[in-house]
Amino acid sequence: MTQVWRDVTFAHWPVPTEEVEALLPPGLRVDTHNGQAWVSLVGFEMDGLRLRGLPAIPTTHQFLEFNVRTYVVGPEGPGVWFCSLDVANWLPAIVARIGFALPYDKGDVEVSHERSRIVWTVDRIWPERAQGSLAVSVDENDVAPIVDDPLATFLTSRWRLYAKTRGGRLVTAPVEHEPWPLTSARFIGADTGLASIAGFEVDGDPIVHHASAVHVRVGLPKLLPRQRLREDLTVWFDDDCGVCSMSVRWLLGRTDASVTYRPNRELEDQVLLATAADAIVVTSDARSWTAVDAVAAVLGRCGRWGRAMAFGLRLPGVHAVAGLVYRWVAGHRGQISARLGLAAGCQLPKSAS
């Protein structure tokens, strides 16, 4: 897939390595420059989007994009890990989520130019609400070519992207582009809400870069081999809820020995404990899942039919509908339990806790 990125605006902040590690799936590790991890806000205009050798894609060949990214090393070398990518059009968001497993979001993305100022604003509406902005100056007094800058090269010359499917598989795709016509710029201000919701609390003035345009080719995505290590899972459930307890009783005879069940009141992680008040939580040593993703993680340990159901739940359209159904059931589980006379967790077998 070929494209042109125009008016590319970068803002880079140093962040603790631990914050990046917390976001990464097995198979990826943090890439650092002189021991320092980084997160970047990047806004640009996508132009001339087309499959190689074909005309530009109708209605979606030109649009604005604003992303939050960090830097990783994976099985095929250094690359970029996207925390979010905001666009205004549904079609590229859905296609990129399905085809590349990239976390594209839908929202209003705008850029304005006032004299030498470039101002990006984002108002995300799906899958959650979030806002962000970035303002820089490219006045002739603020701009200078970037030459022989190892940090700038580390942050901008990336030749691969990594993503993760809903099933936990790593995906990678090569990225090729000509040398950046990179210049410095002056930071004016930013609303870093998009970085915050991604898990990064940044402060201070970032390093800012700007590039007028660069031609890019993104290769076909490739699924990487599954991690051989099988993680043990713990299912945290509300044992005062009849619906939850019935679900656990049903799962007990179907999941394999890698899955254990515990009441959510025993959770020590306060963030997960708060989430568990409204949703099932599943954890392993390295990561966690909630709501529909948690259900899919457990079904994946229920043999062949369970894996098939888990695969279906992770399909984007099915996942969205299942999320709506899940939220409704979770919000009415008390009434459902009472109407159906479902037993609570105190009547579960001892092996469930």
The pLDDT, as a whole number, for residue 57 is 62
Q: Give the residue from 158, 188, 223 where a domain finishes.
A: 223
353 band by pLDDT with thresholds 50, 70 and 90: very low
Whether residue 8 has pLDDT greater than 90: yes
Same domain, 213 and 284: no
Same domain, 65 and 125: yes
Q: What is the CATH number of the domain that holds 195?
A: 2.40.400.10
User: What is the average per-residue pLDDT within 199-208?
Assistant: 96
For 284-342, the pLDDT digits (tens) are 987 899 999 999 999 999 989 999 999 999 998 999 999 999 999 988 988 898 888 87
Q: Is 295 a member of any domain?
A: yes
For 156-178, the pLDDT digits (tens) are 999 999 999 988 899 999 999 99
Q: Is 228 a member of any domain?
A: no
Of 60, 80, 61, 83, nearest in space to 72 by CA:
80
Tell the burial category of 171 from Cβ atoms under 10 Å away from its Cβ (0-12, 13-18, 19+). Answer: middle
Same domain, 189 and 274: no
106 band by pLDDT with thresholds 50, 70 and 90: very high
Same domain, 191 and 76: yes
What total number of domains does the chain contain?
A: 2
Distance (Å, whole) CA 162 – CA 317:
22
Whether residue 236 has pLDDT greater than 70: yes
Q: Give the residue from 180, 203, 223 where a domain finishes.
A: 223
3-state per-residue secondary structure call for the chain = CEEEEEEEEEEEEEECHHHHHCCCCCCCEECCECCEEEEEEEEEEEEEEECCCCCECCCCCCEEEEEEEEEEEECCEEEEEEEEEEECCHHHHHHHHHHHCCCEEEEEEEEEEECCEEEEEEEEEECCCEEEEEEEECCCCCCCECCCCHHHHHHHCCCEEEEECCCCCEEEEEEEECCCCEEECEEEEEECHHHHHHCCCCCCCCEEEEEEEEEEEECCCEECCCCCCCCCEEEEECCCCHHHHHHHHHHHCCCCCCEEEEEHHHCCCHHHHHHHCCCCEEECCCCEEEHHHHHHHHHCCCHHHHHHHHHHHHCHHHHHHHHHHHHHHHHCHHHHHHHHCCCCHHHCCHHHC
Distance (Å, whole) CA 314 – CA 322:
9
Q: Is 275 a member of any domain?
A: yes
Amino acid in position 42: V
**Whole-number mean pLDDT of the chain?**
90
Whether residue 351 has pLDDT greater than 50: no
Q: Is 36 a member of any domain?
A: yes
The pLDDT, as a whole number, for residue 253 is 82
Range ranked top by mean pLDDT from 103-112, 219-228, 298-307: 103-112
267, 281 contact by CB (below 8 A): yes
344, 239 contact by CB (below 8 A): yes
Same domain, 186 and 59: yes
User: What is the average per-residue pLDDT within 57-70?
Assistant: 84
Phi, psi (degrees; rounded to nearest 5) at 13: -120, 140
Q: Which domain holds residue 303?
A: 233-352
Same domain, 194 and 245: no
Of 90, 84, 79, 114, nearest in space to 102 by CA:
84
Same domain, 89 and 53: yes
Tally of residues, the chain? 353
Q: What residue has token string 């090729």?
A: 176
The pLDDT, as a whole number, for residue 344 is 65
User: What is the average per-residue pLDDT within 32-41?
Assistant: 97
The pLDDT, as a whole number, for residue 54 is 65
Same domain, 23 and 87: yes
The pLDDT, as a whole number, for residue 50 is 75
Q: Give the residue from 223, 248, 264 where a domain finishes.
A: 223
Of 204, 276, 270, 66, nearest in space to 261 by CA:
276
Same domain, 214 and 263: no
Q: What residue has token string 């090393």?
A: 73
The pLDDT, as a whole number, for residue 231 is 81
